[in-house]
Structures are given as C-alpha cells and as structure tokens.
Structure 1
Amino acid sequence: MRRISYIDLLICDCDGVLIDSEIITGRVVREALSQLVPEHELEIILNGTFGLQSRDIIARVAAHFNLVLPEDFHPKVRERSESIIRTEGQAIAGVRDALYAIDLPLAVASNSRSDAVRHALQRCGLTERVNKGVFAAELVQHPKPAPDIYLLAAKTASVAPQRCLVVEDSATGATAALTAGMRVIGFLGASHIPPEHGEILRELGVEHLLSDMRELPALVERLRYLEPGSTSS
C-alpha cells in the first residue's frame, strides 16, 4: 500500500541548526555591550534573546539603558562575529549526513545575511544539498519572529505552508514558522541551548524536539507520513 506524504519541503534555520554559531555571536555582542553597561544587568536583558538579530538585541539593550550608540556600533559587532564564525564556526555534529539522508527538497531560512549563510553552508558541506534556495533577513521587510521569511521560502518553492517542515532552535524562529502555519521540529543540540529551552519551545506549540542530528532522518520520515493533527505512536 502506497503511503501518503504530507511534507513536500524541509526548511532549516542556519545558526544553531546547521552551524554552531549562536554562541559566538552572543559572546561578541555581550563583550561589546559589557564595555558600556554593568555586566550583571546586561545578562538579565540578554536572557532569552537568542534567535533575534544582533541589531535588535543591541537596540533592546540601548533602549533599556537609554544609550545613544554610534552608527557604526552594530556593523562593527556584526563584522567581528561573522569574521570569527568564518574561522571558528563548526557544523552541528552529524548535520551534513543527516540532511543528505533525507529525501526531501531543502531550503534554508535565516535571520542572518545571505553571504554569512552561504559561507556557513560551504563550511558545513551543504551548498549542493540546499536545492530550494537560501532566504536571508535582507529579503523580507520583517525578519523572524514574523513569518515572512518562511512564507517566502514556501512560495518560492511552490509549496503550501502546511506542507513544510521546519527545523529551528530558537523561540524566535519557532514562532515565525508556527505563525506561517508550518510544522516545526525544535533542535536542542547546539552549544548555546539552555537546559530549560525544550519546555519553552513546547509552550509555543512545538510538538517534536530533537537533541541529536543523527536522529533527524528517522524523525522526518515519521512526520512525513503522519497526518497533521494525528497523535504519533
């Protein structure tokens, strides 16, 4: 009996899903801002901001402390973090083999810039695997947590949002994908993920969590043939 597939497109976030880079970006942003504000107060404001663009994180801190930052503050922070990621960023363990083992078209949707995403794909050995496009923050007016970037990926691939499966690590990205009407796997295996993060994703409505990329092909295969709304065994 032929099984019915309910998924036509797999979409992955980049930072924290393909490449273990969020911890580097967070470190650079924290170092830059700690020169301006008390570090213990900064940590409170930064809590739960991963997944946001560094520009938005910096703006949030500036507003809280009533700072007037120089115009080149964010560009310098971004350039430094991207430079370090280019030399130090490592692929998430097992991600290349996992994605090549999945027989679905693949797109990448990220809040990072296009050139940074493409470099990450090259570093992970995934450039050829991503056959349905790279969708970066500059392509939409409203990046994650707005659904725009995911809706653009689905539209470009001529796939209905409800037939897309997304792999995301952050609450920001999961919110974007869920708002777009897509099914979401929450990935917990990057080095920046705090212990309680799985519960945060659950509360948002993410039904499936994953800590090891080696398990992704089997999970995708199961979800692909599981009718949306059904309870998996």
Structure 2
Amino acid sequence: MTPVRSIDLLICDCDGVLIDSEIISGRVLRESLAEYVPLEELEVLLNGTFGLQSRDILARVEAHFGIRLPEDFHPQQRARSEAAIHREVNAIAGVRDALLSIDLPLAIASNSRYTAVEHALQRSELRERVDIGIFAAEQVERPKPAPDVYLLAAKAAGVAPQRCLVVEDSATGATAALTAGMQVIGFLGASHIPPEHGETLRQLGVEHLIGDMRELPALVRRLSYLPAADVLP
C-alpha cells in the first residue's frame, strides 16, 4: 500500500539546533550576572532556563535575589552575548547536510532576534535552504513557550499545524510547538544539553529524540508518511 504524505513543513529552532550557541550565551549571561549576585547560587537558579528569553531569566534573578538590575543591563548583556556568538559559534555538526537532504519546505522559528537568526543561517550556510522564512520573537506578541511563532510560520507557509514537524532542543520550545498542535523531534546534540534532558522532553510529550543530526533525515522521512490505511477519509 502506497504511503501518503502526512507532513508538509519542517520548522527548526535556531539556537541549539542550527548553531551551538546556547553554551556561549549562557556563559556570557552568568559572567554578567556574577557582578551582582553570588555565582554558586546563580548557577542553581539558572538550571533548566535555556530556551527562555533573557528578559524572563533576568526577571527570575531579580525576584530570587531581591535586587533590581541596572536599566541598561539587558541591552548591554544582549549585545555582549551576540558579539560572543558572532566571534565563537559553530554550526551544529552535520546540520547543513541533514537539512539539504530533507525534501520538505523549511522555516525557522526562534526566540532570538531576527538579525541574530539571519547571521546564524549565514554562518551555517543554510540561508538559501530556508524557503519559507525566518520567524523571530519580535514578530509575535508572545514568545515561546507560547505557540505564536510556530503558528505564524505555519500560517505563512499555508500549512495546517498538524502537518508541521518541528526540531527543538529546549523544553520551552517543545512546549510551544506541542501547544501549536505540531509533532516535535527533540534534538539532544548541542553542547549545553544535560544528560537528563531527554526525559524532560519525553515528559512533555516529545516522542522522538535524536543526539546527532545525521539521524534527522531518516527520521523525518519516516514521520512524514503514513500508510494509506492510517489516513483519515
């Protein structure tokens, strides 16, 4: 029986999926905050916050330590982080070859700023592969974990959410995609991913996990088609 396509759009997160940037931005954030709060206690507080926007992380820090960071802390820290990423970041190993071998339109949905995602795509030599577009935090009212940026990408492609397949590394991003009604592949291969993170994603409802981008094309092909008998009339 001939399989029937069930997925029409692939959507990838950027940081931690296309580029190995989270470990850099996390280091810069810790260095910046350590000027105001005890580093050891800060490390404990920041566990599990990757994928959140930096403003949300800073709000947690202020509430926990009962402090008020300077007004210019966020823009200065963001500039330092973006500069460090520009200087140091590498593409996730194998991501370019993986995405070039997948026969689906591609969109990028990120909690980062549009210009940062654009740079990441250039850095990983993927800009021309992104045929649907870049969808970034400033384009929606609510960033991840709200589903808005994923729904925007699906709408731009003219694809129903249930026919979208998402590659995400963070619990925040996976929550956004699942809330949007999309199927999610959890990527565990970036430098910042802790050993227990796969179980965290599974508890959210992520059924498929990979640790290497070389695994992605075959998994996408398998998930993109259903046996004809499984397709609803």
Question: Which TM-score applies when normalising by structure 1?
Answer: 0.96
Question: Which ranges of structure 2 fall in alignment gaps of 5 or more residues?
Answer: none
Q: How does 1:10-49 map to 2 (within 5 A)?
A: 10-49=10-49
Find the counterpart in structure 2 of residue 208 from structure 1.
208
Which residue of structure 1 aligns with residue 8 of structure 2?
A: 8
1:69 deviates by 1.3
Query: After superposition, where does 1:56-95 map in structure 2 within 5 Å?
Result: 56-95=56-95
CA offset at residue 44 of structure 1? 1.5
In structure 1, stretches of 5+ residues that fail to align are none
2:168 is aligned with 1:163: no
What are the superposed Cα offsets for residues 175-229 of structure 1, whole Å, 9 maximum, x if unpaired? Answer: 00000000000000000000000000000000000000011000000011137xx
Mapped to 1, the partners of 2:44 and 2:85 lie a distance apart of 25
Q: What percent identity do the matched residue pairs reach?
A: 75
Q: Distance in 1 between matches of 2:54 and 2:69?
A: 14
State the SS of the aligned residue for 1:128. Answer: helix
Amino acid at match of 2:127: T
Q: 1:1-30 CA deviation, whole Å, 9 max, x = no partner?
A: 542010000000000000000000100111
Contact 2:186 2:198 in 1 (8 A): yes
| Preserved contact between residue 29 and residue 58 of structure 1 (Cα < 8 Å) | no
Contact (CA 8 Å) 1:9, 1:105: kept in 2 or not?
yes
**Amino acid in structure 1 at the alignment position of 2:37:** V
On the 8 A contact 2:62/2:69 being kept in 1, the answer is yes
Distance in 2 (CA, whole Å) between partners of 1:91 and 1:152 is 25
TM-score computed with the length of structure 2 as normaliser: 0.96
Q: Which moved more, 1:51-60 or 1:115-124?
A: 51-60
Taking only aligned residues, the RMSD between alpha carbons, in angstroms, comes to 1.0
Q: Quote the Cα distance in structure 2 between the aligned partners of 1:102 and 1:175.
A: 24
Structure-2 residue corresponding to 1:185? 185
